[in-house]
Amino acid sequence: MQPLTVYVMQQNLQRVLSTIATLPSDVQSQVNDESLKRLTQRNWGFDFYLLPTILEYAKWLEYSDEGSYYTYPLKNLHHLKSWLSCVTGASVKEAECVVEEILDDDFLVGILVRVCLQHGMNDSASRFQKQRASVYGRRIGWYGVVRIKKPRLVIETGIDRGLGSAILCRALMRNTEDGHLGRYLGTDINPSAGFLLADPLSQFGSIAYGDSIETLKTLSSEIDVFINDSDHSADYEAREYETIINKLSKNAVILGDNSHVTDKLFQFALRLNRNFLHFAEEPSDHWYPGAGIGAAF
């Protein structure tokens, strides 16, 4: 571990220690106490679960170029396939096919590697090179919904580097090859967001910079797939749904990236008399505990 990483990790751990009460001076006399023995026996969870996560975090801090968006393979792809089938009405077999399609897609990986290298994101480039599409995490579910539902308009609010944008536009590109035209619109308040949406994928969509809700208010076309992933406060999330309520097509699918935290999409689904289903992702090889995809359909 490099000295700077060691320093930052020590600061982190120091903050943890300072929130734990000062060690009582008579602690030695308690060591034989039955309750303390029970406590130390149960402490195996620290070594088994927490320590590997803390070390994984230190490794990520040192090598990764990721900011607030993360990439990792999923342990529970089978849950995602089943979720996809329930949300889209496709058979599990069809859902499996679109998941395998994106996992085998070297064309998209090639674009991501090229653009990451152009932007000096060498660690991201090497992750895409080594682990390929497996690291897209729950975005594989977004891809599946677009491939199966064949939407004419897909909106993603909050795009960060544009990994979701690239994946969604790849789905639209394939839909176009199959004879179903569709467009993507991403929104972000950060003017430098979205650089992963490069040519030829950028031919299938565009990015509107500025506050998402302000952009959503200007939309005149019907939305077929909506993905909420911008400001993650519960209030903002709810206001995004409120803004699009009269702009949804009859069979629109609304996906929420905040549904592991709030019940806003669940409440929205109830109001629209729609089903709600949440997929909880389980990342592997990453300290991040994972988010999920809420779906109102």
**Residues in region 138-157 near ligand SAM by CB under 6 A:** 139, 156
Number of residues that bind ligand SAM (CB under 6 A): 19
Contact between 189 and ligand SAM per CB under 6 A: yes
Per-position x/- string for 64-103, each x denoting binding to ligand SAM as judged by CB under 6 A, each - no binding: ----xx----------------------------------
Instruction: Give the burial class of 162: count Cβ atoms within 10 A of its Cβ; 0-12 exposed, 13-18 middle, 19 or more buried.
Output: buried
Closest to ligand SAM by CB, 51 or 135: 135
Beta-strand relationship, 248-256 and 292-296: antiparallel
Closest to ligand SAM by CB, 134 or 212: 212
Backbone angles phi, psi at 183, to 5 degrees: -125, 155
**Nearest Cα residue to 143 out of 124, 157, 163, 126:** 163
Q: How far is the CB of 133 from ligand SAM (least distance, A)?
A: 14
Q: Which stretch binds ligand SAM (CB under 6 A): 3-11, 105-113, 228-236, 247-255?
A: 228-236
- Tell me the sheet residues that pair with 249: none
Residue 206 tokens read as 């565009």
Q: Which stretch binds ligand SAM (CB under 6 A): 3-11, 41-49, 53-61, 160-168?
A: 160-168
Q: Which stretch binds ligand SAM (CB under 6 A): 31-39, 98-106, 199-207, 227-235?
A: 227-235
Q: Which stretch binds ligand SAM (CB under 6 A): 95-103, 197-205, 224-232, 273-281?
A: 224-232
Contact between 158 and ligand SAM per CB under 6 A: yes
Beta-strand relationship, 183-188 and 153-157: parallel
Cβ atoms < 10 Å from Cβ of 200:
11
Q: How far is the CB of 288 from ligand SAM (least distance, A)?
A: 12
Q: How far is CA 290 from the centre of its chain?
A: 8
Sign of CA dihedral 136, 138, 144, 147: negative
Distance from C-alpha of 13 to C-alpha of 238, rounded to nearest angstrom:
36
Distance from C-alpha of 274 to C-alpha of 48, rounded to nearest angstrom:
41
Closest to ligand SAM by CB, 85 or 187: 187
Interface ranges with ligand SAM (CB under 6 A): 68-69, 139, 156, 158-160, 163-164, 187-190, 193, 211-212, 229-231
